[in-house]
């Protein structure tokens, strides 16, 4: 086994002697590289990167994309529901009362009164989650990304609740990593002055 430095993530890895000169893959960042060979002087040449894993460069890509997706899905879903409730309040009230009657639930009037208002709140929360996803993808505004991650945990309308909780928890886990926080700080110092 030969010890080399991965050209993709700069971590030390061990490569079997029989792999020298052939294509190999880093166990950490999953990039592909051409393993070094022994030169005439007995020293190893530098490994040559052949294909980088696009997700390895940033731990924020996956959860940021998830936040963006959940936020946009919630924005569309809640936007449609808000539009329906406010465009024809009588039809919304009738459908809500029928649903409560079929499900044998008490007091539909409270839902008729407060559901449109709650949907507007969830619409705003969904927009916040989408904005946090964009911030996370750009590695800018760490506070907004954290707030959006917490917000995703509370998107409890329609199908967003199924996706929002795991995506929010995943992004919170990633955002608490000191290395990721350093990426946000580094990106903030590189921003051109306004």
- Quick one: 136 and 174 in the same domain? yes
| Cα 171 from Cα 145, distance rounded (Å) | 8
pLDDT band for position 69 (cuts 50, 70, 90)? very high
Q: Are residues 89 and 150 in the same domain?
A: yes
**pLDDT over 80 at 190, yes or no:** no
pLDDT for 56: 61
Identify whether 56 is part of a domain. no
Domain extent for 112: 61-187
Whole-number pLDDT of residue 129: 93
List, for residues 78-97, the tens digit of each pLDDT value.
Answer: 888 888 888 888 888 888 88
67 and 39 within one domain = no
Location of structure tokens 């009037």: 109
What are 122-158's pLDDT values in tens digits? 889 999 999 999 999 888 888 999 999 999 988 877 6
DSSP 108-172: HHHHHHHHHHHHHHHHHHHHHHHHHHHHHHHT--HHHHHHHHHHHHT--STTHHHHHHHHHHHHH
Q: Is the pLDDT of residue 68 over 90?
A: yes
Do residues 47 and 96 share a domain? no
């Amino acid at each position: 086994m030969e010890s080399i430095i991965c050209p993709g993530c700069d971590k030390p890895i061990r490569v079997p002697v029989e792999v020298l000169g052939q294509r190999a893959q880093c166990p950490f960042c999953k990039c592909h590289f051409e393993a070094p060979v022994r030169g005439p002087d007995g020293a190893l040449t530098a490994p040559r990167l052949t294909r980088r894993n696009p997700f390895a460069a940033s731990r924020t890509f996956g959860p940021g994309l998830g936040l963006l997706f959940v936020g946009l899905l919630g924005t569309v879903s809640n936007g449609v529901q808000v539009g329906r409730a406010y465009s024809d309040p009588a039809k919304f009230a009738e459908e809500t009362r029928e649903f409560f009657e079929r499900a044998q639930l008490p007091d539909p009037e409270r839902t008729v009164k407060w559901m449109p208002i709650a949907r507007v709140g969830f619409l705003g929360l969904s927009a916040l989650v989408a904005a946090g996803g964009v911030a996370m993808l750009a590695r800018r505004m760490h506070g907004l990304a954290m707030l959006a991650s917490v917000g995703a945990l509370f998107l409890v309308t329609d199908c967003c609740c199924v996706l929002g909780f795991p995506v929010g928890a995943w992004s919170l886990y990633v955002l608490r990593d000191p290395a990721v926080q350093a990426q946000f700080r580094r990106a903030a110092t590189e921003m051109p002055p306004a």
